[in-house]
């Protein structure tokens, strides 16, 4: 499995002190430096979420990353005209469309592709015309997978939050949902990714989900990095993904 490291929370730490982002004097930690460390440690991609409220990643971060990365940039975004315009200028390798709620701490739940099909269609078409691969961050449900395929997405990223928050028999039930969804998505020719709440413990169960090409992991890696350093945190996660 490939590892995409989400570095949003590196920017969260920066913004806690330097609200001006990279333009603030002595702003740290540097998002670009964090991305370079993740690359060196084995990440095959860097993921950032440019939110409408700019609570962590800023516009300038996205442009700098696109210019300097040697691995792919995966841009998470809500379906808004403003962020779409930026995405079409940046032209990341991939865009993952996600739900966005200003009151949430982090993305909660998958995007309702089936229910928002008409609203999502022009965004997907614009991105694909721009040469950007499109991913849908969805619940592990057949209806959402089918809608994503019909819409023209090339990738589905299965939301693993319910699995990560569950324990015991309930977690096994959620694992089975992920396994079934991955098999179904793969049968439709979709690339299968997964992410949200994956950590150094539950990764052992995530390895039982077939056909996963890439995991996008952020909070757990950044949290571990406080104690071990970012490079070691990324290397440890990658080794647990691919023992």
Domains by residue range for the chain, with CATH: 2-241 (3.20.20.70)
Catalytic residue selected from 2, 56, 159, 196: 196
Look over the chain and give the mean of its residue pLDDT values, rounded to a whole number. Answer: 95
| Tokens coding 120 | 């999502």
Instruction: For 64-106, write each residue's pLDDT tens digit.
Output: 999 999 999 999 999 999 999 999 999 999 999 999 875 555 5
Annotation marks residue 196 as catalytic: yes
Catalytic residue (one of 2, 49, 56, 159): 49
CA dist 4 to 41, 68, 71, 192, 197, Å?
11, 16, 10, 13, 14
pLDDT of residue 169: 98
Catalytic residue among 76, 139, 157, 214: 76
Give the model's pLDDT for residue 160: 98
Nearest-CA neighbor of 212 among 149, 158, 169?
A: 158
- Measured CA to CA, the distance from residue 127 to residue 116 in angstroms comes to 17
At residue 105, the pLDDT reads 53
9 is catalytic: no
214 part of the active site: no
Structure tokens at 168: 């015991």
Q: Tens-of-pLDDT digits for all 243 residues of the chain?
A: 999 999 999 999 999 999 877 777 789 999 999 999 999 999 999 999 999 999 999 999 999 999 999 999 999 999 999 999 999 999 999 999 999 875 555 556 899 999 999 999 999 999 999 999 999 999 999 999 999 999 999 999 999 999 999 999 999 999 999 999 999 999 999 999 999 999 999 999 999 999 999 999 999 999 999 999 999 999 999 999 999
Q: Which string of b and e fits 189-212 if b means at least 16 CB within 10 Å? A: ebbbbbbbbbbeebbebbeebebb
Phi then psi for residue 73, to 5 deg, are: -105, 125
Cα-Cα-Cα-Cα dihedral sign, residues 203, 159, 165, 78: positive
**3-state DSSP assignment of residue 89:** helix
Q: Which residues pair with 187 in a beta bridge?
A: none
Helix (H), strand (E) counts: the chain: 11, 8
CA dihedral for 36, 133, 146, 208, sign (positive or negative): negative
């Amino acid at each position: 499995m490939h590892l995409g490291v989400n570095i949003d929370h590196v920017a969260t730490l920066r913004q806690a002190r330097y609200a001006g982002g990279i333009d603030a004097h002595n702003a740290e930690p540097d998002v670009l430096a964090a991305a370079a460390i993740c690359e060196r440690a084995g990440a095959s991609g860097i993921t950032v979420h440019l939110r409408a409220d700019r609570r962590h990643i800023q516009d300038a971060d996205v442009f700098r990353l696109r210019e300097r990365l040697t691995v792919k940039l995966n841009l998470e975004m809500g379906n808004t005209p403003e962020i779409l315009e930026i995405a079409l200028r940046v032209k990341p390798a991939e865009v993952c469309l996600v739900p966005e709620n200003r009151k949430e701490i982090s993305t909660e739940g998958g995007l309702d592709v089936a229910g928002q099909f008409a609203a999502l269609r022009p965004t997907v078409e614009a991105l694909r015309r721009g040469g950007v691969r499109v991913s849908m961050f969805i619940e592990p449900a057949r209806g959402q997978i089918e809608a994503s395929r019909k819409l023209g997405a090339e990738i589905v990223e299965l939301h693993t939050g319910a699995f990560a928050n569950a324990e015991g028999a309930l977690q096994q039930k959620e694992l089975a949902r992920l396994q079934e969804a991955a098999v179904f998505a793969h049968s439709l020719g979709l690339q299968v990714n997964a992410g949200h709440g994956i950590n150094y413990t539950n990764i052992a169960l995530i390895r039982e989900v077939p056909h996963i090409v890439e995991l996008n992991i952020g909070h757990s890696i950044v949290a571990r990095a406080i104690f071990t350093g970012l490079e070691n945190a990324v290397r440890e996660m990658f080794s647990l993904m691919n023992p």
